[in-house]
Amino acid sequence: MMLSRITLLAFVILYATPALAQEDEDHQRLCPLLTEELVRVIMPEVTGHGGCAVRCAGCGCKGGPGYRDAQGQCVGYANLIQKCGPPPHQGCRAECAPVSAGCEHGRVWLKDFLARSGLSVQFTAGGASPSSPDAGH
């Protein structure tokens, strides 16, 4: 009985802690720095799969890249490089709003998906999001 408790505790310490730390990335203000190649890989996975029906504030809160363009609109993956330029996407403001609960395409998803594709992504810290709710792309 004692051995099974020790085994369970070891499992929790070794596996649950990194998983929880990784899930916490969705709650941080991080925006991906995406190349055209990364966008091409990501697009088929996010197109038509916007399963996040929450109301939230700040670009990125629904799992999008988290950038706001000069016209004040959140920029989606499809238009990121066109509207914001290549990494570090200086043509836009990086809001990087924390991803709302229930949204399937957060930063953890992005890192894991690209890793399975043999690719990786870097992130940049974002600034504050506006006080009014928006589309959250």
Q: Would you state the structure tokens that stand for residue 76, as one six-digit string?
A: 């989606």
Lowest model confidence (mean pLDDT) among 7-16, 60-69, 78-87, 121-130: 7-16
Other Cβ atoms within 10 Å of 44 Cβ, number: 9
Over pLDDT 70: what percentage of the chain? 73
Is pTM beyond 0.95? Reply is no
SS3 23: helix
Q: Convert the pLDDT of each residue in 31-50 to its tens digit.
A: 999 999 999 999 998 887 66
